[in-house]
Amino acid sequence: MSPRAADRTLHGVIAVQDQSAKITLGIDSARGEMEQGEIASGPRIVAIDVGRGAALIGMAIYHLSWDFAHFHLAPPDFPVTPPMRLFSHAVAGAFLVLAGASLALAHRNEMRPAAFWRRLAIVGGAAALVSGASYVFAPQQAIFFGILHCIAVASLLAAPLLRLPVWIALALSVIVFAAPLLIASPAFNPPALVWLGLGTIPPQTLDWRPLMPWSGGVFLGLALTRLNIQRLIASPLARWRPAAVPGRALAWAGRHSLAIYLTHQPILFAILLAFTSLTGAGAGWEAAEFAKVCQRECVAGGGEPEVCAPACACVVKGLQEEGLSSAIARDSLDDAQREHYSRIVQSCSTGP
């Protein structure tokens, strides 16, 4: 009997996806901060910090959905339901567009190679760390082209666009967005080409932001900023400073996004761990899910439903009485607990 094998996958998803998201989006935001902060002339555009801070809130909400699923406060598939996936795409798209806008602002007067390559080294190094961590935590779903990889490659491709006519960046963004819909082919499914985003079978990976269509967000952000850069700099928006506390908080978060990205998930996780440990929240869901798995596997093994149902109810009761429900749900039984679990199962299987 396999107690919640899917939870092991959830562990890997949380460990690596959170690592990926924290480093990926965090470095991207740090890069935006560095780009905007290093502009030789003109004031810092705080509205971009506020936008980045708002995206941070969205990112934290999405990560919280994974935490809720992990602690059985929500169904295990909650983070991958269509609404949540759409929400995660919107958040990722916002960061990519902001990355392109920051790139245009940072090099609006002239291309500064030292700053560009320094930023690219940070992003590329973080991408390598994400890939390495994923091979350790979830080798079957390792990250080889997540959002951070996409940002690094898109930045390289976007660099020439800073001095080319702006319509080229706009046209390229349209082409990149449309390409997966128009020219997808099995010829792009091999590992050496799948990162382009033109394949027909998505790879098994925890973070998948292929070059097409996702790099289109960077090109679009760059193009729109270049088109409106003079109006933007001369507008009241460039001089706007939030007066209300929420706005100032978002601006502060946007300026310190890297530190927030690196620390928010451990904090959220610790809070939910303490909450569920103290209140027992999620235990009822664990028991119900275990009972479903137990009955399904009992019947699949040749048992009669009218026999399997009370036997599984007996096992659930025994696990709750012995305090093993959470350990069984998370597949974290030690040897002594595993032996105790086996005795419970045997006792419930043989009956009185």
Q: Give the per-residue pLDDT at 316.
A: 78
Q: Looking at residue 13, what is its pLDDT? A: 40
CA distance 169 to 158: 8
* pLDDT for 144: 94
The better pLDDT of the pair 266, 166 is held by 166
Distance CA 1, CA 345 (A): 9
Q: pTM here?
A: 0.72
Distance in angstroms (rounded) separating the CA atoms of residues 128 and 136? 13
In the prediction, which pLDDT does 9 show? Answer: 40
pLDDT digits (tens, 9 = 90+) for 284-306: 666 666 777 777 778 777 777 77
Confidence band, pLDDT 50/70/90 cuts, at residue 17: very low
Cα separation, 302 vs 286, in Å, equals 25
Closest CA to 64 of 267, 347, 288, 326: 267
Per-residue pLDDT at 21 exceeds 70: no
Which pLDDT does position 31 carry in this prediction? 41
CA dihedral 162, 54, 269, 149 (to 10 degrees): -10
Summarize the confidence of residues 9-20 as an average pLDDT: 43
Q: Which of 30-44, 198-212, 268-282, 337-351 has the lowest mean pLDDT?
A: 30-44
Amino acid occupying residue 257? S
At 73 the pLDDT is: 84
Cα separation, 128 vs 117, whole angstroms: 16
Q: List, for residues 252-279, the tens digit of each pLDDT value.
A: 998 877 667 667 778 998 998 888 878 7
Does residue 34 register a pLDDT over 80? no
Q: pLDDT-derived band of residue 350, with 50, 70 and 90 as boundaries?
A: low
Is residue 62 within a helix (H) or strand (E), and if so which, with residue range? helix 46-70
